[in-house]
Amino acid sequence: MSDMTFDKMISQMTPAIYESLKQSVALRKWPDGRRLTPEQTELCLEAVMRFEAENNVPEDQRVGYLEHRTCGAAASGADVSPEMAGLGQDVGRG
């Protein structure tokens, strides 16, 4: 049996392996086309997230990143009228 632990595997993971695992999780497939099992998906995702945390990957480049928006900020489009946003239309009528 190998002495490789999950922590040791993460510490030895290269950026190329990280990118490959990240793509595999996104596609739910290994690079050779075989489907990941739910257990493999979970382990790969954990490895990707641990790699990102331990290698200070910028937050906006991490897996699952969602941009934070504030309701009242002008950058969020709050200055757009309801009509322009399509909110003044009755979608039930054509």
Task: Please give the pLDDT value at position 1.
Answer: 42
Task: Please give the pLDDT value at position 87.
Answer: 60
Task: Please give the pLDDT value at position 66.
Answer: 79
Task: Please give the pLDDT value at position 37.
Answer: 97
CA 90 from chain centre, in angstroms, equals: 35
Residue type, position 90, single letter: D
User: pTM of this prediction?
Assistant: 0.64
Query: What averages of pLDDT result for each successive group of 10 residues across the chain (94 residues)?
Result: 79 94 94 96 94 87 78 57 60 53
Does residue 37 sit in helix, strand or coil?
coil
- Contacts (Cβ under 8 Å, ≥6 apart) of 6: 47
